[in-house]
C-alpha cells in the first residue's frame, strides 16, 4: 500500500475516537473522549467545531436531522446539534465501578451496539440499545470492548477485545433478531506489542483496524489474513472510517493520552486527525432511529 497518510486537522486530542461519516452533510463527526468533546469536521473548508458534552464521550452515531446519539460515561444521550443540548435517554449501572462505555456503532436495522471498558479483566461487555428504548447484554467476559462492524452482506459481526486479548472476533449475525453467535477468533495479535482498536469494513469485506501503540493501521481480509499495514506518524491510532463523496477516503483518529514527553516528540502530531486516499470504498453509515426521520 503506497498511499501516504496526511494530517488534515491539528486537534491535539487526548483520546480521539469513533469517526463517523455523514454523507448528507459531507462531514465527519468524531469524539475527543477525555476532553468531553464531539467534533464536527468539514473537509471542504477544513473547519472544525465542537460540542462540550460535560462528560466522557466515547462513541456517537447519526440519529436524524441535526441529532446524534452519544455514549457518555454510563449514559446514552441525544445531542442536539442546533442547540448543543444533551438529553439523557438511558443510564446504566455497570457491575464494576471502574467501567465506562467505549466504542459503538449502528447496524443496518438502526440498533446501537455499544461496548464497555473496565479496569478489571473480563468485566466489560457488549450491549445493544434499540429504537424502542430496550437495552440488553449481548456479550460478556470482555475487558476493552472495541472496534466493531458487519460484513457487507450483513451475516457476520466483528468485535475487538483490545487488551489483554488483542483479538478481533467474528460472530454469525442474525439481522432480523439482532443476535450474535458462534464466536471464533478472526485476528490474533497477542504475540505483538500492539493492540487492535477501532475498525471499519470496506465494500470488499476487508477489515481495517487501528493499531494502538503500533504506529500503523492494518488491513485484514474476511478470513483474518493480513493484507498490509499502513505506517502512521503517530504511536496511537485509535479508529478508522471511510468518508468522502465516494467513501474512498480513510479517516483516522489518534490519541496523545498517556504518552511521555519523549514519545510525543517522536510523534508530535499525536491526537490529530488524518486522512488517506484508498483504492477501495467503505460501506454507507448506518443511523439510529433512521426509520423515524
Task: Indicate the annotated binding residues.
Answer: 17, 100, 102, 146, 197
Q: Which residue's entry shows cell 456479550?
A: 139
Q: State the Cα–Cα distance between residues 109 and 142, nearest whole angstrom.
A: 25
For the annotated binding site for substrate, the residues are 100, 102
Q: Where are the alpha helices (DSSP H) in the chain?
A: 261-266
The β-bridge partners of 231 are 216
Q: State the Cα–Cα distance between residues 144 and 39, nearest whole angstrom.
A: 23
CA-closest candidate to residue 55, choices 83, 28, 35, 26: 35
Residue 65 burial (CB count, 10 A): 9
CA distances from 19 to 70, 104, 182, 210 (A): 12, 11, 29, 12
Distance of CA 43 to the CA centre of its chain: 19
**Catalytic, out of 32, 103, 107, 197:** 197
DSSP H/E element including 265:
helix 261-266
**Pair 149, 200: CB distance under 8 Å:** yes
For the annotated binding site for a divalent metal cation, the residues are 17, 146, 197
Active site residue 197: yes
Q: State the Cα–Cα distance between residues 18 and 147, nearest whole angstrom.
A: 9
Annotated catalytic residues are 197
Amino acid at each position: 500500500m503506497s498511499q501516504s497518510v496526511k494530517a488534515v486537522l491539528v486537534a491535539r486530542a487526548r483520546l480521539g475516537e469513533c469517526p463517523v461519516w455523514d454523507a448528507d452533510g459531507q462531514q465527519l463527526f468524531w469524539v475527543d473522549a477525555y476532553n468531553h468533546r464531539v467534533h464536527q469536521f468539514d473537509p471542504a473548508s477544513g473547519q472544525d467545531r465542537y460540542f462540550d458534552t460535560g462528560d466522557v464521550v466515547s462513541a456517537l452515531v447519526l440519529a436524524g436531522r441535526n441529532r446524534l446519539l452519544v455514549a457518555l460515561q454510563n449514559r446514552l444521550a441525544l445531542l442536539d446539534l442546533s442547540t448543543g443540548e444533551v438529553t439523557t435517554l438511558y443510564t446504566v449501572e455497570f457491575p464494576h465501578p471502574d467501567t465506562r462505555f467505549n466504542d459503538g456503532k449502528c447496524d443496518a436495522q438502526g440498533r446501537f451496539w455499544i461496548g464497555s471498558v473496565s479496569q478489571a479483566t473480563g468485566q466489560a461487555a457488549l450491549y445493544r440499545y434499540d429504537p424502542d428504548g430496550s437495552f440488553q447484554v449481548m456479550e460478556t467476559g470482555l475487558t476493552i470492548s472495541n472496534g466493531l462492524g458487519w460484513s457487507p452482506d450483513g451475516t457476520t459481526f466483528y468485535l475487538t477485545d483490545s487488551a489483554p486479548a488483542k483479538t478481533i472476533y467474528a460472530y454469525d449475525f442474525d439481522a432480523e433478531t439482532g443476535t450474535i453467535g458462534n464466536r471464533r477468533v478472526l485476528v490474533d495479535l497477542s504475540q505483538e506489542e500492539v493492540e487492535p482498536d477501532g475498525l471499519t469494513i470496506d465494500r470488499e469485506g476487508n477489515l481495517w483496524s487501528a493499531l494502538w501503540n503500533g504506529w500503523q493501521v492494518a488491513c485484514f481480509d474476511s478470513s483474518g489474513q493480513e493484507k498490509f499495514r499502513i505506517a502512521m506518524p503517530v504511536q496511537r491510532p485509535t479508529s478508522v472510517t471511510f468518508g468522502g463523496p465516494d467513501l474512498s477516503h480513510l479517516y483516522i483518529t489518534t490519541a496523545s493520552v498517556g504518552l511521555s514527553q519523549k514519545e510525543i516528540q517522536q510523534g508530535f502530531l499525536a491526537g490529530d486527525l488524518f486522512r488517506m486516499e484508498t483504492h477501495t470504498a467503505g460501506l454507507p453509515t448506518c443511523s439510529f432511529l433512521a426509520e423515524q426521520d
